[in-house]
Amino acid sequence: MSPFTGSAARTPSWEHLRVDVTDGVATVTLARPEKLNALTFGAYADLRDLLAELSRERSVRALVLAGEGRGFCSGGDVDEIIGATLSMDTAQLLDFNRMTGQVVRAVRECPFPVIAAVQGVAAGAGAVLALAADFRVADPTARFAFLFTRVGLSGGDMGAAYLLPRVVGLGHATRLLMLGDAVRAPEAERIGLISELTEEGRADEAAGILARRLADGPALAFAQTKALLTAELDMPLAASVELDASTQALLMTGEDYAEFHAAFTEKRPPKWSGR
């Protein structure tokens, strides 16, 4: 995403999220623990806009998405979203569904790694948000449920039918999206839905440690790796190899590449600049 901005000022505070940025690591917390962090229209819009701002500012090198309390995110709020959408016309419904998809695109397209710290339920839209992240760090209480067919909607919501087969394979994705059954942590780890399984109550801590490791690393290399992983999902091999070659040629002119060689020669750890 381009770092250039227009006339809009930086958002001074976020009404529907709790946001902390410290030394290159952003921690974004869904903070409605009394409702298992169910999403509202405002929370979706804030996530979309926050990710766009952080992508432009280039001050964040890793982001942790977490939920306060005993769950990660139970999906869209039944009253504030599902109830409200029953009175919307088709144009309004399309606007809403496009907005939820924009959140997923923002997670996939932002130039820094996103880590979902999952404890308890990650259901519906919450499961897709975790799925869209680059890493899913979860504790044994985590359970993922793609519930869309359970409410009479397509299981392919917010890009789930695109992302999930690429993470767990078509067979598992078909079962999860069709039936909407909950997948608990041991099975989620077995099929590749969890990147790291922690001890109970340690998901936030482990996600923070991973975020720190990523933030201290070669940010530009991570950003380009993420971009290639997303772009090449739909490319033939020849196009992928050519894109890899062009990307590597550009990175080889960067400061971090030269810094690695200098550090190796001088027998010291590299000092990554992200350039």
pLDDT in tens, 171-228: 999 999 999 999 999 999 999 999 999 999 999 999 999 999 999 999 999 999 999 9
Q: Which residues pair with 66 in a beta bridge?
A: 29, 117
Mean pLDDT, the chain, integer: 95
For the chain, give every residue range classified as CATH 3.90.226.10.
Answer: 17-216
Helical packing angle, 219-231 and 237-251, nearest 10°: 170
Q: How far apart are CA 255 and CA 241, in angstroms?
A: 24
pLDDT in tens, 41-81: 999 999 999 999 999 998 999 999 999 999 999 999 998 99
Q: How far apart are CA 129 and CA 159, in angstroms?
A: 10
Which of 144, 150, 182 minimizes the C-alpha distance to 163?
144
Instruction: Tell the CATH topology of 17-216.
Output: 2-enoyl-CoA Hydratase; Chain A, domain 1 (3.90.226)
The full 3-state SS of 42-82, as one line of letters, equals HHHHHHHHHHHHHHHHCCCCEEEEEECCCCCECCECHHHHH
Provide the 3-class DSSP secondary structure of residue 125.
Answer: helix
